[in-house]
Amino acid sequence: MLSAIIIAKDEEKKLPDCLKSLSWVDEIVVIDTGSIDKTKKIAKKFGAKVYKFQGGSYSDWRNEGLKRGSGDWILYIDADERVTPLLHKEIESRITNHESRTNAYAIPRKNIILGKELKHGGWWPDYVKRLYFKRNLRRWKGDLHEEPEFDGEMGHLTNPLLHIKHDNLSEMVEKTNKWSGIEAKLMYDANHPKMNSIRFFSSMFREFWKRVIREQAYLDGQTGVIYALYQVYSRFISYAKLWEMQLRERNTNIRIRANVTNKYG
């Protein structure tokens, strides 16, 4: 038995196609993290079991899905992803012919960004760890870039998930504003070195070198270049928010020291 786990919030536009691509699984579980649109209604229309879980991190949500799924196998999939017929057949084959030590599988993703499939810039094969033999998956950990803890070996599937990553620039900016704040807070809590001009420049240069030069984003044409440069911008925003947090801390400490001096000086 296979349970598909979807973590969703306000995904009424993309969720239906995701659910259609999962019509063959034995059970669909949706962990709703606070939707105010029709996500819950749509999920139930397709026969999914919906559980509300507000607060927490991606690890918490994935762990909740692990607890709620009743299948022997667990497939994690996002609302903007689709299981193709070929991937469907491959998953069923791997489950049916389960090798005793291979209890997890990474699946490649075909990323559709701004209406174009990107094959360079680090977007292919873009493996994601999504299919697990449930009794060997212990838990997920990590606040932003969650990682699984499991017993056994990780295999790799051949056929990709279809990932409708970003439809337009406005959507990209909105998501960057949300996730950059989370990433900045994690770096701040980890006592990241103080940001300065050199660190800003070096972080952006490394991202540019990785996306445009080493991984040849320009081979995907204008869309590839635009998205690669956007990754540089996204990296900058995360570090700029970290700088803002560090500046706020420094100013607070200055005020505290000034108050102490005025009181006892």
> Domain residues of the chain, as ranges?
2-165, 168-264
> What is the end-to-end Cα distance of the chain in Å, rounded?
73
Query: What confidence tens digit (pLDDT) does each residue in 33-73 have?
Result: 999 999 999 999 999 999 999 888 899 999 999 999 999 99
Which pLDDT score is estimated for 2?
98
For residue 155, pLDDT over 60 is answered with yes
Continuous segment of H or E residues that includes residue 14: none
Report the amino acid identity of residue 14. Answer: K
**Residues 117-134: what's their mean pLDDT?**
97
The pTM score is 0.90
* Rounded Cα distance, 79 and 13, in Å: 9
Whose tokens are 């999914």? That residue is 48
* Rounded Cα distance, 87 and 85, in Å: 5
Least confident among 97-101, 171-175, 202-206: 97-101
**Residues 69-85: what's their mean pLDDT?**
97
State the CATH class of domain 2-165: alpha beta
- Whether 163 and 111 have beta carbons less than 8 Å apart is answered as yes
3-state SS assignment for residue 130: strand
Query: What confidence tens digit (pLDDT) does each residue in 213-226 have?
Result: 999 999 999 999 99
